[in-house]
Amino acid sequence: MITKEQALDKAEDYLLTYIGNLVGPGASFFDNEKNVWVVPIFHMSNIATFPLDEIHVDTHGNIVYAPTRERLIQIARKRFEGNEEIKKFVEAIEVNIKLKE
């Protein structure tokens, strides 16, 4: 079984590779019912830090659930529609995505 730190490293690598640097992992924990490490995904900037979704890593180190960039943008938009600063963050993520493509 992989360690908590290894699950966190897997999630962080995934986020940097597929999502970008405006999000980061939170403290991982083991979900006994699902038999996976759960790593929360947070938006991290000087504007705000808030949870968006999570990544699930199985006991062998395989990512068994991770949201797409589009899903994270959708969550951020829906959650903070009325906040102008958050709208700017969502736009920054979209620009970051286009640069990675």
Three-state secondary structure string covering 22-70: CEEECCCEEECCCCEEEEEEEEECCCCEEEEEEEEEECCCCEEECCCHH
pLDDT at 97: 66
pLDDT at 91: 74
Model confidence pLDDT, tens digit, residues 23-38: 999 999 999 999 999 9
CB 30 within 8 A of CB 6: no
Residue where the block lists tokens 């924990």: 29
pTM of the model: 0.80
Model confidence pLDDT, tens digit, residues 28-65: 999 999 999 999 999 887 766 889 999 999 999 999 99
d(CA 62, CA 53): 18
